[in-house]
């Protein structure tokens, strides 16, 4: 699809047609260990050079936000999101804290209630 002399890499239904690994220059492993519930928050520092995806991640992390939420906001796979967040953590534009859980994730009664709720849905 072209618009004038410029080629447009967007499909109305699919969104931007850029392979996720191009966002991270082919990197698939973050330099920092993060899981889906890790909380990240912007520190206010901004890297000198920043890709649009890094800027968008910083913008959605003004308050502590889980890695899963950032991935959903960016509409990128979690693996790619973790690499982007690790970049921001390494240059001190972002910090991470311990994840917060409301209950013990190994509580058998809680897990049974969760399973029961999922089976009803």
Residue 77 inside a domain? The answer is yes
Residue 115 inside a domain? The answer is no
Q: How many CB atoms lie within 10 A of CB 27?
A: 15
Domain count, the chain: 1
Residue 86 inside a domain? The answer is yes
What are the distances in angstroms from CA 20 to CA 6, 77, 81?
22, 7, 9
Q: In terms of pTM, does the model score above 0.85?
A: no
3-class secondary structure, 16: strand
CB 95 within 8 A of CB 65: no
**Is the confidence at residue 2, as pLDDT, over 50?**
no
Residue 113 inside a domain? The answer is no
Residue 7 inside a domain? The answer is no
Q: Which pairing describes strands 39-42 and 2-3: parallel, antiparallel, or unpaired?
A: unpaired
Phi, psi of 16, rounded to the nearest 5 degrees: -60, 135
Residue 26 inside a domain? The answer is yes
CB 24 within 8 A of CB 80: yes
**Is the confidence at residue 112, as pLDDT, over 50?**
yes
Q: What is the CATH number of the domain that holds 63?
A: 1.10.10
Residue 13 inside a domain? The answer is no
Identify the domain containing residue 90 by its residue range: 18-100
E strand spans, 6-76: 6-7, 10-11, 15-16, 39-42, 65-66
Residue 70 inside a domain? The answer is yes
Tens digit of each residue's pLDDT (9 = 90 or more) over 41-74: 999 898 888 888 899 999 999 999 999 999 999 9
**Is the confidence at residue 25, as pLDDT, over 70?**
no
pLDDT value for 52: 86
């Amino acid at each position: 699809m072209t618009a004038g002399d410029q080629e447009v890499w967007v499909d109305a239904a699919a969104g931007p047609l850029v392979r996720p690994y191009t966002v991270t220059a082919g990197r698939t492993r973050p330099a920092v260990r993060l899981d889906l519930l890790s909380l990240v928050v912007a520190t206010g520092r901004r890297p000198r050079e920043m890709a649009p995806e890094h800027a968008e991640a910083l913008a959605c992390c003004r308050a502590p936000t889980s890695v899963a939420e950032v991935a959903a906001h960016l509409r990128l796979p979690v693996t790619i999101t973790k690499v982007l967040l690790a970049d921001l953590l390494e240059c001190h534009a972002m910090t991470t804290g311990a994840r917060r859980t409301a209950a013990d994730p190994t509580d058998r009664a809680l897990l049974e209630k969760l399973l029961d709720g999922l089976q009803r849905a």
